Chains A and B, each alone.
Chain A
Amino acid sequence: MGQHSDQHLTQRLKEGDKQALRSLIELYKHMVYTLALRIVHNEEDAEEVSQDTFIKAYQSIEGFKGDSKLSTWLYRIAYHRSLDYIKKNKRKPQTTTLEWEEVSNIQMAEKVWDHMEAMEKRQVIRRALGKLPGEDGVILSLFYFESLSLKEISGVLNISVNSVKVKLHRSRKRLAALLEKMMDKQTISSYASK
């Protein structure tokens, strides 16, 4: 979304225009929900957090000075609301407990991946992202889905750019290891023989 559109939408939101809120929700609901789901790891809870995020954003729009993109500001609210939700409900994020291992055979994994059906790929990646610890999932989602820069991600997570760089590196590594684990040996051998 362009800067001009951002300003226009922000202005309308500040005027209390409900149609502007509708537009904001339609534009960002899936991404806000994705970020919430990465952290709370439960669809109903993620929907509740998303709803809460948009209401909070609408009520706090006066505080948005336009220093960042409207979407970045919204994602920051979603991220922190999700963390608050977990803290408030004393939920322990349900992520995989497997020890993070190095990718043993990247060529093989890549070969298997190339042979998989598009639908199957989407299912595997969805499951893998769901198993990642919250912050990893958020960083990967912001980086790949929204193409946010490291600086913008640092603004969302409220950490330094260097930390984002390190965490992004680690998140990719974890995802690769997880994918390799998920594409079990049988699958690997069946695809590899093709």
Chain B
Amino acid sequence: MQASDDKSWERFIDKVMQEAEPEKLTGDFTENVLGALDAIENAPLVSGYKAPISRMTWLVLGVVFAGVLVWSSLGSTSLQWGWTSRLSTYLDIGSLFEELTLPALEYTSLYSIGLFALFVLLQLVYMKRLFDRRFGLEG
């Protein structure tokens, strides 16, 4: 009985589907596809690069960096970082610094260079994410 029922509604669907037809696209679909493909093929491989850190920011950073260098070489050479001297009163790490024969001037320069390197590093990470997103390397 079940098999006969199945057959009859299968036959019904066969009949119904004879009346059906695929959906129709309207408009200039073909031209749109060809146009889209042309646009993809003619797109420049590398899009115009826009620096994540602007020229002005670099200029300010450069001036600050140069200023620190000039100040550290011409200014007070007896610069002592507060935290090292304060720490050394509680911890005996002063001897560590004593063993390092670098004068205060060079520490200052070292910190400046470290700061500069940090900025470069941050820009590299930021740029990698930016390019990944732009060229669809993610997901």
Contacts and interface: CB of A to CB of B under 8 A. Distances in A.
A99 B12 CA distance: 21
Interface in A51-70: 51, 54-55, 58
Given A121-B19, A125-B20, A47 B25 contact: yes
B34 A30 contact: no
B98 interface: no
Nearest to B19: A121
Given A25-B30, A169-B6, 13 more contacts: A22-B30, A25-B34, A29-B25, A33-B22, A51-B29, A54-B33, A55-B37, A103-B9, A121-B16, A125-B19, A172-B10, A173-B9, A179-B16
Contacts of B34: 18, 21-22, 25
24 contacts: A18-B34, A25-B34, A26-B30, A30-B23, A30-B24, A31-B22, A33-B22, A34-B23, A51-B29, A51-B32, A51-B33, A51-B36, A54-B33, A55-B33, A103-B12, A109-B12, A113-B12, A126-B23, A144-B17, A145-B21, A169-B6, A173-B9, A175-B13, A179-B16
A46 B17 CA distance: 22
A125 B16 contact: yes
B25 A21 contact: no
Contacts of A12: none
Nearest to A53: B33
Given A106-B9, A173-B9, A30 B36 contact: no
A176 B25 contact: no
A164 interface: no
Interface of A: 18, 21-22, 25-26, 29-31, 33-34, 37, 46-47, 50-51, 54-55, 58, 103, 106-107, 109-110, 113, 118, 121-122, 125-126, 129, 140-141, 144-145, 169, 172-173, 175-176, 179
B5 A106 contact: yes
Contacts of A172: 9-10, 13
B12 A176 contact: yes
A175 B8 contact: no
Contacts of A103: 5, 9, 12
B22 A30 contact: yes
Contact of B25 (A33, A58, A125, A141): A33
Query: Interface residue tally of chain B, by bracket?
Result: 20 to 34
A179 B12 CA distance: 10
A125 B22 contact: no
B2 to A, nearest CB: 10
Given A29-B25, A172-B13, A118 B19 contact: yes
Given A55-B37, A58-B37, A176 B19 contact: no
Given A33-B25, A176-B9, A110 B30 contact: no
